[in-house]
Amino acid sequence: MHATVGDRLVVHGAVVGEHDKCGEIIEVRGVGGEPPFLVRFEDGHQALVFPGPDAVIVHEHRGS
């Protein structure tokens, strides 16, 4: 899993009825875009995240 600052991390809910958690990657601490990522979630809290298999990176469109 590779990311850059500005990409979005989406962690899918693990049980029925649990909402996805979405946040913006504000810092990449791993080598070559690898985790861990410092993420600012929609509710404003920040966390150091080591994404599991229930997470995806949404790469922000970078125009030319």
> Which pLDDT tens digit goes with each residue over 39-54?
999 999 999 999 999 9
Q: Is residue 23 a part of any domain in this protein?
A: yes
Q: Is residue 56 a part of any domain in this protein?
A: no
**Pairwise pLDDT comparison (15 vs 28), residue with the higher score:** 28
Q: What is the pLDDT of residue 57?
A: 97
Q: Is residue 37 a part of any domain in this protein?
A: yes
pLDDT at 63 over 80: no
Whole-number Cα distances in Å, 22 to 9, 30, 31, 39, 63:
6, 20, 23, 9, 23
Q: Is residue 15 a part of any domain in this protein?
A: yes
Q: What is the pLDDT of residue 56?
A: 96
> Which pLDDT tens digit goes with each residue over 4-18?
999 999 999 888 888
Q: Is residue 16 a part of any domain in this protein?
A: yes
Cα separation, 2 vs 52, whole angstroms: 13
Our count of domains for the chain comes to 1
Q: Is residue 34 a part of any domain in this protein?
A: yes
* Amino acid type, 55: A
List the domain range (segments joined by +) for residue 33.
8-50
Q: What is the pLDDT of residue 62?
A: 62
